[in-house]
């Protein structure tokens, strides 16, 4: 049995309790300063900025805490880790895919929580005070005797709503939710009863209200991928979609209504996209040749995705779910061909009830190619304006030893829920990797000039949205004055509780009623 607090870890529990008392309650202070720096250029700008050397980077980095990136960026950064966290070794594990969350929902609070994987120490919790800029290493998330203490944290993510809840897995049959403050575990779902004891789940994702979850189902022994499942927590129901081709992953969108499955359906070319409406069971196929997503992240009823086959170099599109054909607006591209693009894309700041054209996403890749915005963190509006906010450099040298081999060196950055903070890892041109946050001056893109966006002022305990009936779904949202090209998406409200009358039991959509397990049982 997994346990969040075995008796053997009394000292660890005490240390973490003391640390939480030091960071104080999750209360808000009005004195959080607006992010500064950054600059906007058009996507076709050919300006190239010189990449910093390892010596230049070390000259402006502190041991830990806040600093300012040099000109022309002038943005504020936060160093989270240093060599003392790893006894001088290169122990920081890469961040999960950009759709994950290493930062908690800190809206309405002075303090944010960050979890990082440290080889040898296991998943470790840090805090950052947004008022004082102080970084505190709170300690290991689990006592040494817990099986979860040996995990890397790959694929784990914070809830978008509940400030202290972290989704975790031990590579087995269950998705677990862990309260990092109370140090208590609960089972979200376990596939054993329905799919058998020889199955495992991975690549989990959750809707922003914590009600709908998706995962890849595989054979425990052979690791062969079997398909994708979605689980609705309030009705305790699974939906299962067997793999039809070479399977990559699946992701529920932030509303919980749409399921994106990435696999090679037609056996030709590259990876295709199956888009499932979990409310109706209908499916839309987006083939690779028509622009199927490569790197992507989901919003509410849409995805932000790389499209390497578009005429524009390294284009990024916004694909609205539910249309026929799907609307796909180009919202970013590189200046010319032969470049690396933005790599991992992150839209963890997606907001319900706000048109995509009023929102933004970010990305950033490490590359040896000299090109405009290469090796930089870049954010862009989702309105087709092709405005690009250049935030800072990723500070990663692919020829340096730090960070591991190949793709492990990549920043794999992600935004927090407010969109005001971007976290990534960097080897700083040296032999080890550390974690950093940069404050995103989003007002340069959005025009919002208040001290932090309104999304950061909302209280953390937001009530869960209630399921809507199909008849309650409104029409397209009105376009705001001054917005970019209009893109109409279906309203991404939560799907109603599915029944066998609403959803046919077919091979493509199998609704499986599964009894809930008591919280904490595994």
The predicted structure's pLDDT at residue 487 = 32
| Alpha-carbon span 305 to 329, nearest angstrom | 10
- 399-419 b/e with 16+ CB inside 10 Å = b? ebebbeeeeebbbbbbbbbbb
- Among 47-51, 215-219, 326-330, whose mean pLDDT is lowest? 326-330
Can you give the pTM of this predicted structure?
Answer: 0.85
Q: What are residue 190's DSSP bridge partners?
A: 174
Helix (H), strand (E) counts: the chain: 4, 30
Summarize pLDDT for 84-94 with one digit per residue, the tens.
Answer: 999 999 999 99
Phi and psi at residue 16, to the nearest 5°: -70, -35
What is the number of alpha carbons within 13 Å of residue 178 lying toward its C-beta?
26
The H or E element containing residue 15 is helix 10-23
The tokens for 309 are 């086959």
Rounded to whole angstroms, how far apart are CA atoms 37 and 32? 16
| d(C-alpha 172, C-alpha 58), whole Å | 41
Alpha-carbon gap, residue 336 to 357, rounded angstroms: 24
Residue 17: the pLDDT is 57
- State how far the alpha carbon of 460 is from the alpha carbons of 23, 105, 110, 420, 518, in Å: 17, 7, 11, 16, 26
Beta carbons within 10 angstroms of residue 206's beta carbon: 28
pLDDT single digits (tens) 481-514:
232 333 333 333 333 333 222 223 223 323 333 3
Q: Give the H/E segment covering residue 195.
A: helix 192-195
Indicate whether 349 pLDDT > 60: yes
In this prediction, residue 310 carries a pLDDT of 74
The residue-averaged pLDDT of 88-106 equals 90
| DSSP 8-state secondary structure symbol assigned to residue 85 | G
Q: Are 201 and 190 in contact (CB under 8 A)?
A: no
What tokens appear for 382 in the block?
């989702």
Work out the percent of the chain whose per-residue pLDDT is above 70: 78
Q: How far apart are CA 228 and CA 247, in angstroms?
A: 9
Say whether pLDDT at 190 is over 90. yes
CA atoms of 176 and 186, how far apart (whole Å): 6
């Amino acid at each position: 049995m997994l346990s969040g607090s075995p008796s053997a870890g009394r000292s660890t529990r005490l240390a973490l309790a003391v640390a939480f008392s030091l960071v104080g309650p999750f209360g808000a202070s009005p004195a959080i300063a607006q992010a500064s720096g950054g600059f906007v250029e058009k996507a076709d700008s050919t300006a190239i900025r010189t990449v910093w050397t390892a010596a230049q980077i070390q000259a402006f980095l502190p041991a830990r805490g806040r600093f300012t990136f040099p000109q022309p960026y002038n943005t504020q950064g936060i160093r989270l880790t240093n060599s003392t966290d790893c006894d001088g070794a290169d122990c920081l594990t890469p961040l999960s895919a950009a759709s994950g969350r290493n930062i908690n929902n800190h809206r309405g609070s002075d303090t944010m929580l960050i979890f990082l994987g440290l080889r040898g120490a296991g998943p470790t919790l840090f805090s950052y005070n947004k008022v004082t800029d102080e970084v505190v290493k709170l300690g290991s998330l689990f006592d040494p005797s817990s099986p979860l203490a040996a995990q890397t944290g790959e694929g784990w993510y914070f809830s978008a709503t509940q400030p202290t809840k972290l989704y975790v897995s031990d590579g087995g049959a269950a998705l677990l939710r862990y309260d990092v403050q109370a140090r208590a575990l609960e089972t979200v779902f376990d596939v054993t009863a329905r799919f058998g004891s020889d199955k495992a789940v991975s690549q989990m994702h959750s809707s922003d209200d914590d009600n709908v979850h998706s995962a890849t189902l595989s054979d425990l022994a052979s690791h062969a991928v079997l398909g994708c499942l979605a689980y609705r927590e309030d009705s305790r129901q699974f939906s299962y979609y067997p793999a039809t081709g070479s399977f990559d992953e699946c992701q529920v969108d932030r509303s919980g209504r749409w399921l994106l499955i990435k696999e090679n359906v037609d056996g030709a070319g590259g990876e295709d996209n199956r888009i499932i409406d979990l409310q109706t069971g209908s499916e839309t196929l987006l083939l690779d040749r028509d622009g199927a997503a490569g790197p992507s992240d989901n919003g509410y009823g849409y995805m932000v995705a790389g499209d390497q086959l578009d005429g524009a170099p390294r284009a990024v599109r916004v694909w609205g779910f539910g249309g026929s054909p799907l609307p796909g607006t180009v919202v970013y591209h590189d200046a010319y061909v032969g470049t690396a693009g933005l790599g991992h894309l992150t839209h963890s700041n997606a907001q319900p009830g706000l048109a995509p054209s009023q929102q933004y996403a970010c990305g950033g890749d490490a590359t040896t190619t000299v090109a405009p915005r290469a090796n930089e963190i870049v954010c862009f509006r989702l309105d087709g304006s092709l405005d690009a906010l250049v935030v800072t450099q990723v500070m990663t040298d692919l020829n340096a030893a730090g960070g591991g081999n190949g793709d492990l060196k990549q920043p794999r950055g992600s935004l927090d829920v407010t969109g005001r903070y971007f976290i990534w890892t960097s080897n700083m041109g040296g032999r080890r990797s550390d974690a950093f946050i940069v404050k995103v001056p989003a007002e340069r893109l959005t025009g919002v000039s208040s001290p932090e966006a309104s999304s950061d002022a909302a209280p953390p305990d937001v009530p869960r949205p209630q399921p809507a009936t199909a008849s309650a779904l409104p029409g397209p949202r009105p376009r705001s004055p001054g917005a970019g090209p209009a893109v109409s998406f279906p309203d991404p409200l939560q799907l109603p509780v599915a029944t066998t009358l609403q959803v046919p039991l077919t091979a493509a959509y199998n609704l499986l009623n599964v009894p809930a397990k008591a919280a904490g049982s595994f």
